[in-house]
């Protein structure tokens, strides 16, 4: 029984194997998973005050099923675009922290009376 | 030296049998505020680390990172990730403040291989010391935010802490205190069994339910295991709370576990009650404080308790442990522990034990 299950599993694994490359990375410039994970862990998560499961399906990080991930992708594109201008003007680059300040949602200005 | 080893061969044999299969360090999950799957390929924790887990081992755990290791990913062939866990332990036993024996031996030498596709994660594990093979195929996108897993594995119960001598796991396999049993049934020699498991992630809550084909503990009938855990961040605190159950024929085990962490200090605990394991009802508990002195250096204190019949009389055991845990380099973990066991009425039992353990993983 054990042998049958293992042989079956290995066969399935070989048949539908994929390269361990980055999948569904559209905006960020990283080439390796290590670089990507490091950026997410040291920049995105603390600057938004969230954990991985805020944006990701924990069993498949590449999946786009959560809306937060789609929004985050747009936000990252926005930051990259802003930083192009910042670099051209010799200004400091910005990151999520500029607006989020460690919160899921940036603070909005108080309503005018 | 040889004479001493021969004299204490029972101690040596006892620890040789602790050739640990998959083990996890739930404190890291608590401090990260997320379930085991954050760092491990297996959602139940332990064994091969994923990309985040490898990064955690490199950046967060160790005292320093050599440049050569900073780009390590575990990917050796393009389609497969390889990993392994090796543990070597030494035990020095002391009686009346005199050292009376020392034994050094391998506890674990596991090799793991992972292969991933668009919809699956396959994991094979070979426990070379125990000659046991584990295999699991996980279908990831069948259930939204969940998985279906089957193969040869172990159902996930409780905190699954890394020390199998804790009473909430297997306790003393060699009956040191002369009871009928000295620990819960999760001894390290339990073999992988045919298993089906469903897992769901609802935000910071993780639920898993599994059914084995053969009996997991008694080997008689199928086993049903359920587990729920919830992580919560509150200001600077991280917390986890959970419950689990196991049903196998007449054997019923129910447990509650939890943990709290703030800054460099964390606490984890678990209480389990088993019915029809030994004498009607038995209870085991575990409570551990850990203080991070600096990056890669931890101080720990722990109290384990076990009573085989829940009347808290002279046959209940309390074990106190103090230890240091040092991670000088990525993938190198060194532990030193001193522990002593007492029966509830205060009678000192077996003197002090000194344990040291070297854990290497990749």
Contact B201 A20 (CB under 8 A): no
H or E stretch including A97?
A: helix A97-100
Determine the distance in angstroms separating the CA of B213 from the nearest CA of chain A, rounded to an integer: 11
Q: Residue B2's pLDDT is what?
A: 39
Contact B115 A17 (CB under 8 A): yes
The tens digit of pLDDT for each residue in B93-133 reads 666 666 667 778 787 888 898 888 878 888 888 887 777 88
Residue A82 token pair: 């802003």
Q: Residue B300's pLDDT is what?
A: 95
Residue of A nearest to B137 (CA): A9
Residue of B nearest to A53 (CA): B203
pLDDT at A109 over 70: yes
Residue of B nearest to A2 (CA): B152
pLDDT at A5 over 80: no
* B132 at interface of A, judged by CB pairs closer than 8 A: no
Contact B78 A57 (CB under 8 A): no
Q: Residue B17's pLDDT is what?
A: 39
pLDDT at B260 over 90: yes
pLDDT at B350 over 90: no
The closest of A79, A71, A72 to A98, measured between CA atoms, is A79
**DSSP assignment letter at B173:** S
Contact A34 B35 (CB under 8 A): no
Distances, alpha carbon B23 to alpha carbons A26, B59, B157, B210, in Å: 36, 21, 12, 18
Residue of A nearest to B52 (CA): A37
| Residues within 8 A of A (CB atoms), B 206-265 only | 231, 233
Between A55 and B312, whose confidence is greater?
Answer: A55
Greatest mean pLDDT range, A41-50, B68-77, B99-108: A41-50
Q: Residue B346's pLDDT is what?
A: 57
The closest of B243, B309, B304, B305 to B276, measured between CA atoms, is B309
H or E stretch including A104?
A: none
Determine the distance in angstroms separating the CA of B229 from the nearest CA of chain A, rounded to an integer: 14
Strand locations in chain B (E): 75-77, 80-95, 98-116, 120-127, 132-139, 146-153, 193-202, 205-212, 224-234, 237-248, 251-262, 265-275, 281-294, 297-307, 317-329, 332-343, 348-361
Write the residue in A10, A37, A65 that is nearest to B144 by C-beta: A65
B263: alpha, beta or left? (left if phi > 0; alpha if psi -120 to 50): left
Q: Is the dihedral of CA B284, B289, B292, B298 positive or negative?
A: negative
Distances, alpha carbon B58 to alpha carbons A100, B34, B108, B329, in Å: 28, 18, 22, 8
Write the residue in A5, A20, A21 that is nearest to B81 by C-beta: A20
Residue with structure tokens 């602790």? B18
Residue A20 token pair: 């361990």
The pLDDT confidence band at residue B312, using thresholds 50, 70 and 90, is: low
The pLDDT confidence band at residue B225, using thresholds 50, 70 and 90, is: very high
Contacts of residue B133 in chain A, CB cutoff 8 Å?
2, 6
Question: Which of these ranges, A8-12, A79-83, B181-185, B348-352, has the smallest mean pLDDT?
Answer: A8-12
Contacts of residue A6 in chain B, CB cutoff 8 Å?
124, 133, 135, 152
Residue B106 token pair: 């391998």
Contact A53 B201 (CB under 8 A): yes
Residue of B nearest to A60 (CA): B140
Task: Judge if ipTM > 0.90.
Answer: no
Write the residue in A6, A36, A52 that is nearest to B34 by C-beta: A52
The tens digit of pLDDT for each residue in B2-40 reads 344 444 444 444 443 344 445 668 888 888 888 898 899
Q: Residue B258's pLDDT is what?
A: 96
pLDDT at B186 over 60: yes
Q: Are B87 and B188 in contact (CB under 8 A)?
A: no
Q: Are B349 and B176 in contact (CB under 8 A)?
A: yes
Q: Give me the helices (H) in chain B, please.
A: 2-7, 9-16, 26-32, 51-56
């Amino acid at each position: 029984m054990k042998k049958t299950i293992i042989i079956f599993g290995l066969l399935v694994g070989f048949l539908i194997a994929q390269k361990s490359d980055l999948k569904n990375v559209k905006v960020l410039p990283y080439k390796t998973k290590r670089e990507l994970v490091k950026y997410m862990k040291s920049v995105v998560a603390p600057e938004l005050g969230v954990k991985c499961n805020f944006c990701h399906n924990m069993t498949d990080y590449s999946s786009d099923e959560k809306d937060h991930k789609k929004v985050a992708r747009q936000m990252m594109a926005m930051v990259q675009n802003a930083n192009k201008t910042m670099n051209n003007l010799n200004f400091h680059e910005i990151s999520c922290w500029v607006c989020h300040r460690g919160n899921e949602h940036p603070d909005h200005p108080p309503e005018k009376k | 030296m040889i004479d001493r080893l021969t004299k204490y061969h029972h101690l040596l044999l006892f620890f040789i049998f602790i050739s640990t299969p998959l083990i996890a360090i739930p404190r890291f999950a608590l401090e990260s505020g997320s379930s085991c799957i954050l760092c491990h390929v297996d959602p139940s924790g332990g064994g091969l680390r994923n990309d985040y887990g490898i990064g955690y081992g490199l950046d967060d755990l160790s005292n320093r990172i050599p440049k050569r290791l900073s780009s390590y990913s575990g990917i050796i062939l393009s389609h497969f990730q390889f990993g392994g866990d090796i543990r070597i332990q030494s035990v020095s036993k002391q009686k009346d403040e005199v050292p009376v024996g020392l034994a050094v031996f391998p506890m674990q030498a596991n090799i793991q291989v992972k292969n991933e596709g668009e919809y699956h994660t396959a994991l094979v594990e070979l426990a070379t010391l125990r000659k046991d093979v584990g295999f699991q195929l996980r279908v990831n996108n069948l259930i939204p935010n969940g998985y279906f897993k089957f193969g040869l594995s172990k159902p996930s119960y409780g905190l699954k802490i890394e020390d199998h001598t804790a009473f909430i796991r297997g306790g003393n396999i060699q009956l040191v205190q002369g009871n009928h049993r000295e620990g819960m049934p999760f001894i390290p020699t339990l073999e992988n069994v045919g298993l089906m498991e469903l897992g769901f992630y609802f935000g910071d809550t993780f639920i898993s339910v599994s059914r084995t084909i053969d009996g997991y503990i008694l080997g008689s009938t199928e086993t049903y295991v359920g587990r729920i855990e919830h992580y919560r961040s509150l200001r600077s605190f991280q917390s986890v709370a959970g419950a689990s159950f196991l049903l196998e024929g007449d054997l019923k085990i129910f447990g509650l576990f939890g943990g709290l962490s703030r800054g460099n200090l964390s606490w984890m605990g678990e209480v389990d009650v088993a019915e029809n394991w030994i004498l009607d009802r038995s209870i085991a508990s575990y409570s551990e404080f850990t203080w991070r002195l600096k990056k890669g250096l931890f101080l720990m204190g722990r109290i384990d308790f076990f009573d085989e019949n829940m009347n808290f009389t002279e046959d209940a055991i309390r074990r106190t442990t103090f230890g240091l845990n040092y991670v000088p380099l990525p993938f190198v973990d060194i532990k030193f522990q001193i522990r002593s066991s007492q029966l509830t009425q205060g009678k000192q039992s077996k003197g002090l034990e000194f344990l040291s353990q070297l854990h290497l993983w990749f």
